[in-house]
Amino acid sequence: MPSNKLARTNDDIQRVLSELLRNIKDPRVQQGMISVTRVETTGDLRYAKVWLSVLGMRDEKEFKKGLRSASGWLRRELGSALPLRYTPELVFEIDHSIEYGAHISKMIQDLDIRPDEEN
C-alpha cells in the first residue's frame, strides 16, 4: 500500500498525463479515446508505470511506438508541471479492462432472456 504522499503524487501524475496525452500530435497515439486508468510510482520516484485504456484502438504496436517516441516530451512537460525532485521515467502499459467490460456488457444485452411468466 503506497504512502499518502506517494498516492497523492500518483494522482497528480495521472491528472497531468491525462491532459498532456490530448496534446500529442503523433497520429499513432491519437487512435481513440485515451484515459489514464492508474499510475504506480516507485518509492524513490524514479519510475512511474502508467496504465492507459484506449477505446477504439486500431493498432496496439503502433500506439506503443508512438508513446515511446513521445515519452521524452511527456516527461519534460510532467517535470515542469509538478514540483518533484525527480521526474519519473514513464513506462506505459495497456489496460484492456474497460474494453473487456464493454464487451461483457454487450454480450449480456444480446442474450435472449424472456421474463418469467406467472403460473
Domains annotated on the chain, with CATH: 4-110 (3.30.300.20)
- Report pTM: 0.79
Q: How confident is the model at residue 82 (pLDDT cuts 50, 70, 90)?
A: very high
CA dist list (Å): 21 to 35, 70, 106: 9, 9, 28
User: Helix (H, G, I), strand (E, B), or coil: what is residue 31?
Assistant: coil
CA dist list (Å): 67 to 33, 76, 85: 14, 14, 24
Question: Which pLDDT belongs to residue 1?
Answer: 55
Give the residues across from 40 on adjacent strands. 49
Type of residue numbered 14: Q
Helix H, strand E, coil C: the string for 59-78 is: CHHHHHHHHHHHHHHHHHHH
pLDDT digits (tens, 9 = 90+) for 9-50: 999 999 999 999 988 888 888 877 888 999 999 989 999 999
